[in-house]
């Protein structure tokens, strides 16, 4: 069986248990990774561990990797970060923003809860304020795709504004662009400084975990 990272497989009629066993065997003998699948219009099922099409959905999770990440980043058991992997990857490529940074911001902002709402009115995965969402043309802040795309687009704007300085961009994401401009750097707010350090720490963890 070829490595699923380099090829897709088409099956018209195959026992599900046999298919699962085959993929499990592949994962045990090759590099471990999540496996995604989708069935095309002709009934052919495709599998990969490096999805490039939004039709791919999670089929088999790398339990070891998932457990390690949950242990390090303390995800709630009911949340599934991998669910938004395709959205994050697409936005990372589209706007040229590091995917690990996007994941870290989502983690710090909402803990991957698409229905999260803050006391100040920010909502969704990347906690967009109503005014910010409107300016970014985000129709539905609770729609993961719309929310992440809006948040990443805003991050791109902030990174460009601060010439690639991630810390300043994060400070502006948290406290507002005007506050960073007023103080000429990270504002002297405990909340903002804690936020910047937390996101950078999450980002490092994602990078070191290779996820």
Q: Which residues are catalytic, by number?
A: 109
Q: How many CB atoms lie within 10 A of CB 155?
A: 23
Return the closest-CA partner of residue 177 out of 190, 167, 168.
168
- Long-range contacts (CB closer than 8 Å, 24 or more residues apart) made by 66-71: 66/34, 68/209, 69/209, 69/211
Angle at 192 between CA 189 and CA 194, to 5 degrees: 105
Q: Name the nearest CA neighbour of 108 among 171, 156, 57.
A: 171
What's phi and psi for 6, nearest 5 deg?
A: -115, -5
Beta bridge partners of 1: none
């Amino acid at each position: 069986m070829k490595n699923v990272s380099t090829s897709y497989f088409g099956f018209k009629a195959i026992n599900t248990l046999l298919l699962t066993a085959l993929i499990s065997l592949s994962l045990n003998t090759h590099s471990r990774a999540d496996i995604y699948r989708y069935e095309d219009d002709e009934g052919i099922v495709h599998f990969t561990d490096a999805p490039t099409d939004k039709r791919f959905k999670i089929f088999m999770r790398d339990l070891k990797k998932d457990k390690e990440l949950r242990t390090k980043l303390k995800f709630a058991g009911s949340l599934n970060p991998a669910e938004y992997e395709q959205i994050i990857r697409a936005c990372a490529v589209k706007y040229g923003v590091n995917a690990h940074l996007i994941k870290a911001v989502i983690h710090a902002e909402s803990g991957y809860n698409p229905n999260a709402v803050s006391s100040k009115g920010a909502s969704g995965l990347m906690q967009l304020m109503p005014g910010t969402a409107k300016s970014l043309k985000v129709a539905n802040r609770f729609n993961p795709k719309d929310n992440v795309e809006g948040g990443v687009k805003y991050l791109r704007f902030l990174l460009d504004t601060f010439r690639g300085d991630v810390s300043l961009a994060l400070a502006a994401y948290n406290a507002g662009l005007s506050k960073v401009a007023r103080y000429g750097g990270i504002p002297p707010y405990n909340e903002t400084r804690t936020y910047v350090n937390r996101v950078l720490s999450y980002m490092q963890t994602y990078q070191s975990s290779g996820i």
